[in-house]
Amino acid sequence: MVIVVFFFNFHHLQVMSCPDPATTNCTDQDRKLLEFPLNLEYLEAEFFLFGALGFGLDKVAPNLTMGGPSPIGAQKANLDPLTRDIILQFAWQEVGHLRAIKKTVKGFARPQLDLSKKAFAKVMDKAFGVKFVPPFNPYANSYNYLIASYLVPYVGLTGYVGANPKLQCPASRKLVAGLLGVESGQDAVIRGMLYARAAHIVYPYGVTVAAFTDKISDLRNKLGKAGVKDEGLVVPKFMGAEGQVIGNVLVGNEFSLSFDRTPEEILRIVYGSGNESVPGGFYPKGADGEIAKSYLVTVGRVGLDKVAPNLTMGGPSPLGAQKAKLDRLTRDVVLQFAWQEVGHLRAIKKRVKGFARPQLDLSKKAFAEVMDKAFGKKFVPPFNPYANSYNYLIASYLVPYVGLTGYVGANPKLQCPASRKLVAGLLGVESGQDAVIRTMLYARASHIVHPYNVTVAAFTNKISELRNKLGKAGLKDEGLLVPIAKGAEGKVLGNVLAGDESSLSFDRTPEEILRIVYGSGNERVPGGFYPKGANGEIAKSYY
Ligand SMILES: *[C@@H]1O[C@H](CO)[C@@H](O)[C@H](O)[C@H]1NC(C)=O
Ligand SMILES: *[C@@H]1O[C@H](CO)[C@@H](O)[C@H](O)[C@H]1NC(C)=O
Ligand SMILES: *[C@@H]1O[C@H](CO)[C@@H](O)[C@H](O)[C@H]1NC(C)=O
Ligand SMILES: *[C@@H]1O[C@H](CO)[C@@H](O)[C@H](O)[C@H]1NC(C)=O
Ligand SMILES: *[C@@H]1O[C@H](CO)[C@@H](O)[C@H](O)[C@H]1NC(C)=O
């Protein structure tokens, strides 16, 4: 039953109107808001490049540093093959993000970064209020490195959510939506990997992985001085999605939307000082760009029917949906997604009137038809999404990604700041769901799905190819393994997150999405999961 709620993603695409006529000019404010995140993108690029390769931008893309000083104390981490593989993908994605931002705004040189063991150890000591002996070393092993990585992309994600409503120009909003999609995905991949190991006790501190994430999130809330906008992997039930679960693989507010942060809040956190005018932490000399500098200058230095019947608005119950046979971790994670989607429905309906649930077909047969089409042959026995965790995750691969690309496509067109805030919050969590599903599949990419003699990776490739074919808008979808030319910066064939040539999330129009979810390749010909067509003015305008 839980899968039902994934399918509501699509409804989110209804256009939201805003009374204020908006400017189409890119303003100076846009430029400042786009330049500010360079501070975080530099830090992530260096931390991930060094962690995976033992060297950074000075070697792989010296032009992008614009002559800024080399980072202090960054080094290669001692990582297991899967972690290293994924971190290397993130590293190249960050290089793409730096290029993408600098293509749009002039930017500034790499600020002085402190990525030494000592800088990380200080954060951990502060988070726990004790001095760890030996000091926490982010580079010592995969656990430590993932915990250290938990520190960063999430802050970037909240910053993009915060900036989006303020951006005037469609081109700026397109860039930010693409960045937000992939940053949120990185955060979700890291959280997904940590979540699977939440109960592991980190040597020699006798503290679980979950407790580390809790303490780090508490510290960030304290430093940010803007209430609770950060949550660990396990939370009190009332803070979980819809107040129903304690697992918290993705962070979200009471509507399961991503939290937003202002540049001031972000500076307080990354400086570790709780004061945007007092540099320190990873930025010993402060961050760069007009926004960050303005603070330095001032101090003279540089299953719906049952759980929420109201939300269905009386629409018909879905066909053929059933409980899946899942292992514990998969069920736990999927249940969180289910409640997050309930929150999203509430959030959207608070902002717009919305419409009743359309007729959905979630039967085994509907999924089997998609798989047969993807592979161009009839599977015997037919593919059953509910049979086990592998099948269910492969079926789940079908959905959040399409919603994500839809939000990226809608963002540049939204006129009203409140609409953009909503879409950024939705985008952050949808992208996270897609990333968690992809991570779980990625860790099992070479598993052969019984009885089809086809690997998990091949399933994802065929599904992505089918979506590209149905969408009729070129390549906007990629499986878990790609030709190296299509990997991040053309350097890797692992593809835990999909992205364009600058590692930005792809965008799709409502027409493209309808062609895909109808399975017909034609936005006027309903079918697939929507036997009677989708609802809402946009979808209805086609039939
Ligand atoms: C956009 O900028 C142009 C040129 O500076 C100006 O003529 C036009 O009025 C501006 N449009 C809006 C909507 O601000
Ligand atoms: C780096 O900049 C130099 C000088 O502007 C240019 O000639 C070179 O092609 C650039 N290299 C890359 C990899 O962009
Ligand atoms: C932040 O630091 C500046 C400079 O030291 C100081 O003037 C200001 O009072 C501090 N703000 C807070 C809220 O502590
Ligand atoms: C459902 O709607 C009814 C009538 O509008 C309202 O009284 C009730 O509180 C709602 N229930 C929930 C759970 O929102
Ligand atoms: C499974 O697929 C592989 C590669 O496509 C092939 O070599 C092998 O013979 C197949 N095995 C079975 C049992 O069909």
The full DSSP string for 210-222 is: HHHHHHHHHHHHH
Q: What angle is formed at CA 307 by the lines to CA 303 and CA 309, rounded to 5 degrees?
A: 95
Ligand 3 nearest atom to the CA of residue 278, by list position: 2
The Cα–Cα gap between 262 and 427 comes to: 18
Take atom 6 of ligand 1 and give the residue whose Cα is closest. Answer: 25
Place of tokens 């919050």: 425
**Ligand nearest to the backbone CA of 273:** 3
pLDDT value of position 354: 81
pLDDT value of position 336: 85
Please work out whether the CB of residue 20 comes within 6 Å of at least one atom of ligand 1.
Answer: no
Residue by residue, pLDDT tens for the chain (543 residues) are: 333 333 333 444 344 444 444 444 567 888 888 999 999 999 999 999 999 999 999 999 999 999 999 999 999 999 999 999 999 999 999 999 999 999 989 999 999 999 999 999 999 999 999 999 999 999 999 999 999 999 888 888 899 999 998 998 888 999 999 999 999 999 999 999 999 999 999 999 999 999 999 999 999 999 999 999 999 999 999 999 999 999 999 999 999 999 999 999 999 999 999 999 999 999 999 999 989 988 886 443 336 777 677 777 777 878 878 888 899 899 888 888 888 888 888 888 887 878 877 878 888 999 999 999 999 999 999 999 999 999 999 988 887 788 788 888 888 888 888 888 888 888 888 889 999 999 999 999 999 999 999 999 999 999 999 999 999 999 999 999 999 999 999 999 999 999 999 999 999 998 998 999 898 999 999 988 888 888 887 888 887
**What lines the ligand 3 site, CB under 6 Å?**
275, 277-278, 299
The Cα–Cα gap between 162 and 170 comes to: 16
Contacts of 176 (CB under 8 A, 6+ apart): 34, 160, 163, 164, 167, 411, 424
Place of tokens 């003015």: 537
What is the rounded (10 degree) CA torsion for 49, 55, 57, 63?
A: -150
> Residue 527, exposed/middle/buried by CB under 10 A (0-12, 13-18, 19+)?
middle
The pair of three-digit structure tokens given for residue 117, joined into one six-digit string = 């063991």
Contact in structure between 263 and 270 (CB atoms under 8 Å)? no
Please work out whether the CB of residue 24 comes within 6 Å of at least one atom of ligand 1.
Answer: yes
Distances (CA, A) of 111 to 41, 65, 125: 11, 9, 25
Ligand 1 nearest atom to the CA of residue 23, by list position: 13
Take atom 3 of ligand 1 and give the residue whose Cα is closest. Answer: 25
Q: Which residues in 2-23 are b (16+ Cβ under 10 Å) and which e?
A: bbbbbbbbbbbbbebeeeeeee
**Ligand nearest to the backbone CA of 21:** 1
Take atom 14 of ligand 3 and give the residue whose Cα is closest. Answer: 275
Q: What angle is formed at CA 397 by the lines to CA 406 and CA 100, rounded to 5 degrees?
A: 50
The pair of three-digit structure tokens given for residue 297, joined into one six-digit string = 């200058």
Q: What angle is formed at CA 426 by the lines to CA 5 and CA 49, rounded to 5 degrees?
A: 115
Distances (CA, A) of 289 to 100, 279, 293, 368, 395: 17, 14, 6, 52, 44
pLDDT value of position 297: 63
> What is the chain's length?
543
The pair of three-digit structure tokens given for residue 279, joined into one six-digit string = 């540099």
The Cα–Cα gap between 363 and 385 comes to: 9
Q: Which of 20, 25, 27 to mutate to test the pocket of ligand 1 (most atoms within 8 A of CB)?
A: 25
**If we measure between CA atoms, which residue out of 78, 89, 88, 97 comes closest to residue 40?**
97
**Ligand nearest to the backbone CA of 102:** 2
DSSP H helical ranges for 152-197: 153-163, 170-195
Please work out whether the CB of residue 23 comes within 6 Å of at least one atom of ligand 1.
Answer: yes
Take atom 4 of ligand 1 and give the residue whose Cα is closest. Answer: 25
Residue 201 three-state SS: strand
Q: Which of 225, 265, 299 to mutate to test the pocket of ligand 3 (most atoms within 8 A of CB)?
A: 299
Q: What angle is formed at CA 367 by the lines to CA 398 and CA 323, rounded to 5 degrees?
A: 90
Ligand 1 nearest atom to the CA of residue 25, by list position: 1
**If we measure between CA atoms, which residue out of 48, 10, 24 comes closest to residue 182?**
48
The Cα–Cα gap between 342 and 323 comes to: 17
pLDDT value of position 535: 84
**If we measure between CA atoms, which residue out of 65, 53, 203, 77 comes closest to residue 148?**
77
**Ligand nearest to the backbone CA of 280:** 3
Q: What angle is formed at CA 195 by the lines to CA 252 and CA 151, rounded to 5 degrees?
A: 65
Please work out whether the CB of residue 25 comes within 6 Å of at least one atom of ligand 1.
Answer: yes
What residues does each domain of the chain span? 2-20+294-540, 26-291
Take atom 12 of ligand 1 and give the residue whose Cα is closest. Answer: 23
pLDDT value of position 130: 94
